[in-house]
Structure 1
Amino acid sequence: MFVVGQSDVRCPSWSRIALVFALPIIMAGCALPAAAPTALELAASTDTPDFKYSIVKMDTHVVSELNHYHPTFGASFRNRHYGASNALAAGDVIAITVYETGGQALFPPPSVVSGAAASAASLGQVATGASNIPPQVIESDGTIFVPFVGRVKIGGLTPGQAGAVIQRDLQGKSVSPQVMVSLINNIGNAATVSGEVNLARPVPLSSRGERLLDVIAAAGGAKFPAYETYVQVMRNKEVGKVLLQTVVNNPAENIIVAPRDQIYLIHDPRRYAVFGATQRVSTYPFMSEKVTLAEAIAQAGGPIDLTGDPSGIYLFRFEPWFIAKDILDPEYIASLGSKPPEFVPVLYRVDLRSAEGYFLAQSVQMRDKDVILITNAEATQLTKALALVRGFTGIASDIGTLRRQYLIAN
C-alpha cells in the first residue's frame, strides 16, 4: 500500500505503469486503425457458406486464362443463315407502274386522250403508255389490292418478283402488260436504332446487308466515345451487349443487322476503384479501351512508401465461371457443388517486389467495377503500436517530472 503525498513511499515507475497499459495494445496490434489489412490478415479471413471466395496467386498460367475473356455477341447473333434481301414485308409502301401496248388499255395513261395519241391511233400506230397505281401499304397478311385483279399476296417477294406476279394476274385482262413495282418506304425491313445516338430512328435495310456500324452511322453516330458506350442488340428473345469499341476493333462483332432488330446504345463509363495503403484512394474512369493492372496501380500513385506492401496487392473481381473453373483449386471448385454460380468472387494477388510481378501486372487487363486493394506492410501495425507506447511513456514521464517538481517545491 502507498499513500499519496508521503515522499518516503516507494512508488512504481510511471513508465512501467504505462508499459502495463500498452502491452495489451501491442499484443492486439491488429485492432489499431489501419487503411487496409495486411496480406496475412486477408489470407486468414475465412469465407462463409453463403459467400465463398478464393485467393489466387497471379502467374503466367492465370494471366493466360484471363486473356481469354472477350465479351462477344455470340454465335446466335452472327447467324450465318440470315441473308440480307429486299423482300417486301407488311408495312412497306410500294408503287406499281403498269405498261400496256395496243388495244383498249385497262390503265390508260393521260396521253391516250390527247390529240397526238388519237392521231397515232388513226394512222394505225400502236398506242403505248404507262399508268401509275397510287402507292399502297402492304397489309399485315402480305397482300395489296390491284384493280381488275383483287387482292394479291406479295409479302416475302422482292419488288421484281412482286411485279411478275401482278403481271401474270393481269394477263388476259390487259394488252401485253408489263409491271414494275417500286419500294417507296421500307418499314417492314428495318431495324430501330435508339439510345445515346444523335438521330434515333428506324433504319431501312437493303440487300447490301447493313452491319451494326452502318446502322449506327445512319442514326447519326454515338453521342459519346466508343470506349464508354455499350451496344445492346435485342433480336427476337435474345439480348447481346458489347462495348462499342469492341465492335470497332473486331470485325467479327460488326454483325449483320436483321429486320426488326432493336439496337440500343448505352452510355456507361467504365470505372475501377483503388483502396488501401495508396496515395489516392478513389474510383478511376477508363480513359481508353484498355487499362492494365500496372497502369491502374500507377494511376493511384502506387503503394505508400512507409506503409504499403508492394508484395501484397490484390485484384478483387467477380470472375465468369467459364474462366474461373480453369484457375481455381479443384477442391474449391468441388465445394461449389454441381450448379456453380455464373460469377465467382476471386482475389488475385500480385507481387511487385519481383520483376515478374510487373510484367504480369502489365499483361492483365482491368474490367469494369474491378477493385484493387494495396495491403499494409506487416511491420506497419507494430510501428503504430510502438508509437502509441512511446506516447504513453512520454505522458508518464511528463507526469513523473511534474510530480517530482511538486514534491521538491513542497
Structure 2
Amino acid sequence: MLAALLLAALAAPPEFNYDEAEVPDYTLPDVLGEANSPEDWPGRRAEIVRLFEQHVYGVAPPAPEKVTFEETEEAGPGGAWWRQVRAECDLGDGKESSFPFRIAVPNGTTKENPAPVVVLIVHPARMNQLGDDLSDSDFFPSEAITAAGFAAVALPAAELAPDDKETFDTKLLAALGWDRASNGGDRPADGCGALAAWGWGASRVIDYAAQSEYLDASRVAVVGHSRGGKAAWWAAARDPRFSIAYSNNSGCGGAALSRRRFGETVARINSSFPHWFCPQFDAYNGNEDALPIDQHMLAAAVAPRAVYVASAAEDRWADPRGEFLSLVEANPAFELFGDRKLTEDESPAAGEQVVTDRRGYHLREGGHGLERSDWMQFLSFAAGVWEEK
C-alpha cells in the first residue's frame, strides 16, 4: 500500500495544477504572421517548423541520400500478409544506419488499388507489451486496420533512439556523428532529440511506400500515443508527405498548450525526459510565455493536411482541455484553406467526437492509454479524409 501511494505521488505531485480556475492568463503567438493567403502559407509554415527545431525538438537528420529495404515474409494475425522490413539508410559521407519495422497489408490489395498506410510509432515500453508476434491488441489492432483496407505499420522507436537520457544518441545519431560522445559530451542548443529521431524513422516508411506497387504513398497517416504522439505530430509538421497526423494523450510537448501550465509542465517534462527535446527547451522551464511558439502552431503546421487529437477524460496530466484548444487556436491556418472555424464551445463531452473538415477530436472515457475505441475513431476519420482524394 505504501509503495502504491508513493508511485501515485510521483505520478501526480500535488504542486502541479489540476484546477482550470488557476490556469494563468496567457497570450498565444500569432499563427499566420505575414501570411494572408494559401500562397503565403508555405513560407510561414517553414518559419514555424524552424522555430520548433530551434526551441523544442531540435534539428532532425536530413533525408538519407538513398534508402533500400530488405523484406522477409512471415506469418501474422488476421486477413493480411505480413512483412518484417529493414530500412538500410545511406546517410552520406560513408555513414549508414538501419532499423526494422513490421507491416501488415490487407489481402486482396492490388497494384490498381494500393492500400493507404497507417504508421504507429511505438515507444519501447509498449513495444515490449506487444510482443514479437504483434498479435491483434487494443493498442495495435492490426486486424481492424487491415479490415478497413489500410496497411498497418508498427515502428519500434527504440531502434532509432533508445528512450533513455544516457543512451538515446547511440543509434541513428551516433551513425551521423551527432552523438555527445563525438562532440565533446555536449549537444548544440538545437541538437536533435529522441522525438525528432523517431519521427525521422516514420518518414522512411513513406519512402518504403513510395517504392512499393501495393502501397499508396500519398495516403500515409502517422499515429502515436503519449510520447509517441509528440513524435507523430512533429513528424507530420516536418514532412508534408504525411496525409494525416494523430496524437493520442500526447500532453506537454505534444498537443497540449504549454502556456496553460496544466498538469505536466515544461519544467517537469524536461527534468524527467531531457533527451526527448533539444537543450534550448530548458530555457522555458517555468518560463513558457517566452516561447516564440506554442503547440497550436504545431497543429497549424500540418495544414492543409488533416490533424486529429484524442484525449482521455481522466488523463488530466496530459491536459485534455489544452489538447483540444490547440486545434481551436490553429483556426487561422485552416481557415486559409476554406475550413470552418472550430470553437471552444464545441469541446465534446466524454465519449463524444467533433470533426470540422480537416480537424478531428474525441474525448474518451478513462485514463492514459490507447484503446480500440480510439482506433475506431481514427479509422473513421481517415476514411473520410482519404475518400476525398
**Bigger helix fraction:** 2
Higher strand residue share: 1
TM-score normalised according to structure 2 size? 0.25
**Structure with bigger RCO (C-alpha 8 Å, 6+ apart):** 1
TM-score norm. by structure 1 comes to: 0.24
- Bigger radius of gyration: 1
